[in-house]
Amino acid sequence: MDLQSMRRTAVPLHAEVAEVLRHQILSGTLVVGARLPTLRKLAEQLGVARMTVVQAMNTLEDEGLIEKQSGRGTFVRDVERPRKHTLHLKMEISQIYDMVDQMKVSVRKRFASIEKADDGRYFRYIRRIHAKWGKPFCQVDIRLDDSIFERAPERFEQEIVISVLKDLGISITRARQNVTISYADFAMAEALGIKVNSAVFRVAREFMDTDGHLIYSAILYYPSNLLEFDMEFTVD
């Protein structure tokens, strides 16, 4: 799959490139002061002509989102980002387990590596694609304490991590989940078989152990047309 097939119909290619970078800047994915790749590098990564990237960069510069510094490169400016109102909901950890139990998926692609955290612990980083109904359903970026991963490596590679943690009896004292709307960049669009800049649900999870240490985190991206949230409230 190439960029031409992933782009939205009737949207100029340079506008598509600009929109991807715009989302990354306004969402904070590209932090203030971050240096963007060179024009040549971006053109290679995206599979587009250098002039397409130049047009996209000019658009972002006109909007005040980036700043070109002669001899140094192009950097993200400190701009006002949209303010969000957070709706806080309380859930039982059992509800997350029940929700995951309903997600019967298969693992299609995966990439794994080991990273060392600031506290000296090692984490297994796993990026994979979950499939459901015969097509890509979710992109998942997982960080899991390597000592826990080694207790059931084959299961962690093939099954939903939360289910394996539950089966292993891993003690969780705190868990949180944050759901926002994001947009598919080029790599995600290709992995999930959707159009560039399509809306996706971004679900961020964290589990802490009895000592308050992070043992598992995941960021999951679901195409917006494949997932919905239904909440039923208990009324006293």
Over residues 214-229, the mean pLDDT reads 93
- How far apart (Å, rounded) are the C-alpha atoms in residues 176 and 88? 11
Measured between alpha carbons, how far is residue 234 from residues 88, 98, 178, 228 in Å? 16, 17, 21, 20
The confidence score (pLDDT) of residue 123 equals 97
The confidence score (pLDDT) of residue 3 equals 57
Element (H, E) at 58: helix 50-62
Closest by Cα among 223, 228, 226 to 194: 223
The confidence score (pLDDT) of residue 125 equals 94
Element (H, E) at 149: helix 146-149
Percent of all residues in the chain with a pLDDT value above 70, rounded to a whole number: 96
* Residue pLDDT, tens place only, 152-201: 999 998 889 999 999 999 999 999 999 999 999 888 998 899 988 899 99
Tell whether 122 and 192 lie within a shared domain.
yes
Tell whether 101 and 214 lie within a shared domain.
yes
Tell whether 56 and 172 lie within a shared domain.
no
pTM, to two decimals: 0.82
Q: Is residue 188 part of a domain?
A: yes
Look up the CATH number of the domain holding residue 7. Answer: 1.10.10.10
Residue 6 has pLDDT above 60, yes or no: no
* Residue pLDDT, tens place only, 97-123: 888 878 778 888 777 899 998 889 999
- How far apart (Å, rounded) are the C-alpha atoms in residues 143 and 218? 6
Residue 29 has pLDDT above 90, yes or no: no
The confidence score (pLDDT) of residue 8 equals 56
Could you tell me if 25 and 65 are in contact, meaning their C-beta atoms sit under 8 angstroms apart? yes
Tell whether 175 and 123 lie within a shared domain.
yes
Closest by Cα among 66, 88, 84, 52 to 181: 84
Residue 159, C-beta contacts closer than 8 angstroms, at least 6 positions apart: 107
The confidence score (pLDDT) of residue 84 equals 81
Q: State the CB neighbour count (10 A cutoff) for residue 50.
A: 13
Q: Which of 1-5, 152-156, 226-230 has the highest mean pLDDT?
A: 152-156
67 lies in which domain range?
A: 3-76
Closest by Cα among 180, 163, 170 to 213: 170
Q: How many structural domains compose the chain?
A: 2
Tell whether 31 and 126 lie within a shared domain.
no
Tell whether 192 and 131 lie within a shared domain.
yes
Tell whether 16 and 107 lie within a shared domain.
no
Tell whether 71 and 135 lie within a shared domain.
no
The confidence score (pLDDT) of residue 179 equals 93
